[in-house]
Amino acid sequence: MKKGLKKTDLPRFIADVMLGSLSRWLRLFGFDTLYRNDFTDKQLIKLSLQEDRVLLTRDIALAKSKLLKKVLLIQSEEIKEQIKEVLLSFCSKLDLLNLKPRCPVCNGETESIKKEEIRGQLPDYVLFSNQEFIICKSCGKIYWKGTHKEKIDEVKKEILKNLK
Ligand SMILES: [Zn+2]
C-alpha cells in the first residue's frame, strides 16, 4: 500500500516502533528519518503531516488511516528487503549516490573530520586502520568506514541495478 509517493523530491521519513533497525539503515544511507520506540499512532500521524514525512509502517490499520497523506506499508520482515522496499519506492540513482550519511543514533547531519582532530578519542587500532572519519554534528559521535560501509555498498549495488 502506497500513498502520496513521488520520486521528485528527496523524501523524509518517520518510522513506526517496529522499524527501528530500518530507521538506522535509512539514516546511514542519508535519509532524514524520525524514530522513537515510544511514538504512538497519533504522534506518528501528527508528525508525518506536520513535517511532511512519509510514514513507514508495518501496521495495516495505521497505513489505511484516512488522515495520512504519505505512507508506505512495509511488507517484509527482513531488513535488506525492507530497505529495498523503501528505496525502490522513493529514490533516484542520483540521490543514492550523492547523499551523505546521517547519524544512525540521533538522525543528525554528519561531516568529514580529519584524523588529527580526533586523536585520543578513538582506540589507536581504529585510527591506524582507517582513513576516513565522519562526526555527527548533533551528538558528536564519530564513525569510520568499516563494516557498515561494506554492507551499505552491497545493498546499494543491488538497488542501483533496479533503479533507473
Ligand atoms: Zn548523532
5-48 pLDDT, tens per residue? 665 568 899 999 999 999 999 999 899 999 999 999 999 999 99
Dihedral sign from CA coordinates of 117, 123, 128, 129: negative
- What are the C-alpha distances in Å from 70 to residues 13, 82, 149? 9, 17, 30
**Three-state secondary structure call for residue 148:** helix
Q: Which residue reads 506536520 in cell numbers?
A: 50
Q: Which residue reads 512519509 in cell numbers?
A: 54
Distance 163 CA to ligand 1 centre (A): 29
* Cell representation of residue 126: 581504529
Distance 100 CA to ligand 1 centre (A): 13
Residue pLDDT, tens place only, 92-108 = 766 677 788 999 999 99
Residue pLDDT, tens place only, 112-161 = 999 889 888 888 888 888 888 999 999 999 998 776 777 777 877 887 78
Distance 141 CA to ligand 1 centre (A): 6
Predicted pLDDT at 135 = 93
Residues lying with their CB under 5 A of ligand 1, a single-atom ion = 103, 105-106, 108, 136, 138-139, 141
So where are the chain's domains?
A: 2-98, 110-162
2-98, which class in CATH?
alpha beta
